Structure 1
């Protein structure tokens, strides 16, 4: 697909109702595409079978319409695209760039060898180089980052706010590309789908900035184009914590039930402000 047409996407996971942080990404992505006569896509990232709920899919569309946002084309669901992710993983496996991992999160947390990364303990490579792994046991597949970066050489990506960035996927260590309970991971699925859908500009929160280092590496390994990235500030609550589903952030549905005018929310984002008394990170 040609990348001449500006194309953005909003790609939430249906694991809860949308909150203001989601709304910010959706509004900015929508407006970026519309200002350039391009396309704004809606993609449902429903690859987590344990947390995905169908009622949240309908809630996502309901919330976007409440905000006055429309999207182009059919809604894409990642659960219907698993063969594409399996093909990408197989390409990496054929080049010996991934390895099976049998460790649990508890194993990693207890490991004295686990190096510390910017987001916590990194995988210490316990299963890297196992001579004869028993694939009949539950296992994930991890990317051998050192081997992969040696193959690609130095890589760069561009962020609207931070400028040219040298890719440092080692900051996140040997990330999981296919989970024990799911045939893929966020990193693979988002990279494959952005390329397949012709996404030219990825507009998302600053919390995903580090993940872009890994996505840039996967793009190089899979011969995929690299979009331009726009990582926007996060919305913070009164305690200075970023809004998150797991922290019970007030949802757009809650705000709608309280009679909040969605135009107030959208106007604030378009003016570079946080609405309703919240504030932006870095401000």
Structure 2
């Protein structure tokens, strides 16, 4: 068996740095969201860059107008300023549709009739492993597709090559993933016709000039899929930095749904936006102490070169 090819992805040099805040308006921000936004701001501003605000309201059912307003007020109160936006995903369907048509024209998309229950019954991953789509619907005949479409609306999957995608993350270092064996063909459109996150985020980052993506390490394994999409769509690669997750007790992720370390509670506990920022900076290692600080004050001691050492071997940071 031939060895898979490897594509090493590098972000183009000498571009203006444009970072992004990309909150989902499904609840009030919590400490983990603030940490991610603060890091995105510091990484961009330390390179004389700018910040885009994008409201990721792709999930129409869970997104609420009240949270759209609240997230902007929260960023402003915390001193996390942005330079362009806000942009919204809810009015970007035509851009996603155009990208989807390009994938179709390249013969890279096929309908998938599998339910989530079907997939997990066929190949349930072990704890900590990524689900790999087994290709169940890839080779269906036209007749089989017509028959299945009578009872179920299909999602749409993107065919991936037997290729290793590799890149160097500013925090996690070298990372590589074989798209065929470690991911499988992935969704670009859901069965309800909504476009999938992977496609939307790639199209939006390119359209909004984003060159610096800072986000949680839980999305590290999605990055090779997005790099592949960028290549197929003829888009440039951003530079990526995947930071540790802030977690609650027993390593549970902070959640908007559970109101974990929500911003109102943080302000009540610490007394001021500066105290909230300072505490988060202290427990995550951005600053040496938890003393109150503004993002501007933290910028004075921030160095891009220190990122790998700041979070060395950390994938989680306990909230306290």
TM-score normalised by length of structure 2: 0.77
* Displacement after TM superposition at 1:240 (Å): 2.1
SS in 1 for 2:96: helix
**CA distance change for structure 1 residues 109 and 155 in 2, over 3 Å: closer, same or farther?**
closer
Q: 1:181-207 CA deviation, whole Å, 9 max, x = no partner?
A: 243111001111111111111111111
Q: Decide whether the 8 Å contact of 2:246 with 2:316 is kept in 1.
A: no
Within the candidate set 125, 129, 133, 1:116 is matched to 125
Of 127, 131, 136, which aligns to 1:126?
A: 136
Which residue number corresponds to residue 173 of structure 2? 163
| RMSD after superposition | 2.6
Equivalence for 1:5: 16
Q: Which residue in the other structure is 2:40 paired with?
A: 29
Q: TM-score, normalised by structure 1?
A: 0.86
Alignment of 1:56-135 (within 5 A): 56-111=67-122, 114=123, 116=125, 118-132=128-142, 133-134=145-146
| Cα deviation, residue 115, structure 1 | 6.1
After superposition, the Cα gap between the structure-2 partners of 1:3 and 1:223, relative to the gap in structure 1 and judged at 3 Å, is: farther
Tell me which residue corresponds to 2:153. 138
**Tell me, what secondary structure is at the counterpart of 1:5?**
coil
2-side partners of 1:110 and 1:99: how far apart?
22
Secondary structure of 2:84's aligned partner:
coil
- Paired residue total: 273
- Structure 2 residue runs without a partner (length 5+): 1-12, 292-313
Instruction: Give secondary structure in 2 for the equivalent of 1:116.
Output: coil
Separation in structure 2 between the aligned mates of residue 3 and residue 54 of structure 1, nearest angstrom: 38
Equivalent-residue separation in structure 2 for 1:172 and 1:45 (angstroms): 24
Change (3 A) 1:167 1:237: same
Does the C-alpha gap of structure 1 residues 245 and 169 become closer, same or farther in structure 2, counting only changes over 3 Å? Answer: farther
Range that drifts further, 162-171 or 16-25: 162-171
- Whether the aligned pair in 2 keeps the contact of 1:157 and 1:167 (CA below 8 Å) is no
In our comparison, the structure showing a higher alpha carbon Rg is 2
Residue 43 of structure 1 is aligned with which of 54, 72, 78?
54
Partner Cα distance (1:109, 1:239) in 2: 26
